[in-house]
């Protein structure tokens, strides 16, 4: 009830602090008999890990995951799966100053107001490093969905500051995404994005952007009416990711420019199944998946931690100037791509189990 758990039936609980002993996750509700090993998890974590390329932070955290429980003889047993990443690259000196300062647009001030205490090392609990546990859990959720429905989840960087990539969500492949260090499958845009990020980094500044995510092979029937609409749970999942400022599904904010007669997705018969001609709905109608691809976009603000000197106040309310000293991402988007995918997998997997509970396991 204090925000550290997510999901109802495929439920994860996140613990740890950025520079504490360890960070980790407990999954409760994973079905038994799913083949699972550390390498299933590690390949997701490696895409989120720091130090991948020149456009991400140079920090080196190996982020080696250990499965502590819930797996026996290479299979899940239906009991809680605890996964832990023990911390290695701990540099407390970098953070001494910020324990006394409120970094602009960070959570130092709000944690202090809320709890009266906070662990400042590496941003403590508020660090984006906390998402590693979620990515580990997302890897398990994805494996379950992929095995059951051949579900594919592909996110990519659609935009960095003013540079907008030209990507057809219908035929983007994860291989194309991964072949680019900025995780943008439009090669020209990717090149411009990399130059922009490096330029921002060199001037001690940062940039933001948009990640788009497309999910194929989602069975119709996932999502619950009224409050737990599939897009509502996706919106929550995405807005829970550090640095996000917006979410839109299907036609999103742009769809406003259309009349209803243009925007409505006409039902047609395609391959003997009911489908829609257009997909302004983004694969969800009335909160429930309709079998079409789910498409959504997430806005990320420019990274708050910058090396330029900034005005702020300290913990006693005194004015001061502050410049980040650690190694930080000038643009969080390339590393956020697997986070977006993982959170989407968690939402879908949870709703799959919910649908199975209420309506049985018949999908087509």
Q: Which of residues 163-202 bind a copy of itself (CB under 8 A)?
A: 200
Nearer to a copy of itself, 86 or 191 (CB): 86
The nearest distance, CB 219 to a copy of itself, in angstroms, is: 9
Span interacting with a copy of itself, options 47-55, 135-143, 180-188, 239-247, rule CB under 8 A: 239-247
Nearer to a copy of itself, 2 or 168 (CB): 2
Each residue 286-315 as x (binds a copy of itself by CB under 8 A) or -, in order, gives xxxxxx-------xxxxxxxx-x-xxxx--
Nearer to a copy of itself, 90 or 174 (CB): 90
The nearest distance, CB 316 to a copy of itself, in angstroms, is: 10
Q: Token digits for 204?
A: 């001690």
Q: Token digits for 35?
A: 């083949």
Q: By CB under 8 A, what part of segment 12-41 binds a copy of itself? A: 13-17, 20-24, 26, 28-33
Nearer to a copy of itself, 45 or 232 (CB): 232
Interface residue with a copy of itself among 47, 48, 143, 159 (CB under 8 A) is 159
The nearest distance, CB 173 to a copy of itself, in angstroms, is: 25
Q: By CB under 8 A, what part of segment 252-291 binds a copy of itself? A: 252-253, 255-269, 274, 276, 280-282, 284-291
Nearer to a copy of itself, 47 or 297 (CB): 297
Q: HEC profile for the chain? A: CCCCEECCCCEEEEEECCCCCEEEEEEECCCCCCECCHHHHHHHHHHHCCCCCCCCCCCCCCCCEEECCCEECCEECCCCEEEEEECCCCCHHHHCHHHCECCCCCCHHHHHHHHCCCCCHHHHHHCHHHHHHHHHHHHHHHHHHHHHHCCEEEEEEEEECCEECCCCCCCCCHHHHHCCCCCCCCHHHHHHHHHHHHHHHHCCCCCCEEEEEEEECCCCCCCCCCCCCHHHHHHHHHHCCCCEEEEEECCCCHHHHCCHHHHCCCEEEECCEEEECCCCCCCEECCEECCCCEEEEEEECCCCCCCCCEEEEECCCCEEEECCCCCCCCCCHHHHHHHHHHHHHHHHHHHHHHHHHHHCCCCC
Nearer to a copy of itself, 127 or 154 (CB): 127
Total residues binding a copy of itself (CB under 8 A): 151
Q: Is residue 329 within the footprint of a copy of itself (CB under 8 A)? A: no
Nearer to a copy of itself, 147 or 179 (CB): 147
Each residue 78-117 as x (binds a copy of itself by CB under 8 A) or -, in order, gives xxxxx-x-----------------x-xxxx-xxx-xxxxx
Nearest to 229 by CA among 290, 292, 289: 289
Nearer to a copy of itself, 171 or 311 (CB): 311
The nearest distance, CB 298 to a copy of itself, in angstroms, is: 10
């Amino acid at each position: 009830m204090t925000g550290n758990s997510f999901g109802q039936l495929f439920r994860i609980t996140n613990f740890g602090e950025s520079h504490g002993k360890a960070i980790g996750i407990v999954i409760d509700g994973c079905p038994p008999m799913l083949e699972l090993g550390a390498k299933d998890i590690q390949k997701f974590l490696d895409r989120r890990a720091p130090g991948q390329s020149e456009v991400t932070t140079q920090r080196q955290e190996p982020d080696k995951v250990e499965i502590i429980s819930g797996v026996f003889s290479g299979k899940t047993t239906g009991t809680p799966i605890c996964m832990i990443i023990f911390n290695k690259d701990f540099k407390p000196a970098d953070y001494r100053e910020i324990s006394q300062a409120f970094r602009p647009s960070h959570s130092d001030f709000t944690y202090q107001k809320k709890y009266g205490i906070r662990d400042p090392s590496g941003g403590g609990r508020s660090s984006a490093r906390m998402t590693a546990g979620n990515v580990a859990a997302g890897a398990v959720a994805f494996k379950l969905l992929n095995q059951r429905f051949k579900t594919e989840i592909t996110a990519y960087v659609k935009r960095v500051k003013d540079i907008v990539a030209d990507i057809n969500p219908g035929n983007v492949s994860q291989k194309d995404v991964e072949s680019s260090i900025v995780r943008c499958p439009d090669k020209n845009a990717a090149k411009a994005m990399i130059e922009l990020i490096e330029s921002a980094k060199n001037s001690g500044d940062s940039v933001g952007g948009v990640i788009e995510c497309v999910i194929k092979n989602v069975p119709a029937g996932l999502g619950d009416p009224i409050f737990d609409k599939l897009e509502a749970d996706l919106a929550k999942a995405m807005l829970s990711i550090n640095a996000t400022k917006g979410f839109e599904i299907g036609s999103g904010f742009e769809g406003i420019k259309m009349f209803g007669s243009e925007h409505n997705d006409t039902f047609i018969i395609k391959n003997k199944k009911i489908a829609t001609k257009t997909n302004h709905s983004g694969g969800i109608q009335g909160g429930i998946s309709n079998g079409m691809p789910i498409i959504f976009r997430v806005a990320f603000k420019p990274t708050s931690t910058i090396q330029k000197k900034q005005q702020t106040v300290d913990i006693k309310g005194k004015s001061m100037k502050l410049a980040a000293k650690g190694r930080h991402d000038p643009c969080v988007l390339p590393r956020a791509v697997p986070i977006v995918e993982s959170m989407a997998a968690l939402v879908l997997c949870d709703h799959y189990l919910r649908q199975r509970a209420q309506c049985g396991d018949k999908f087509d």
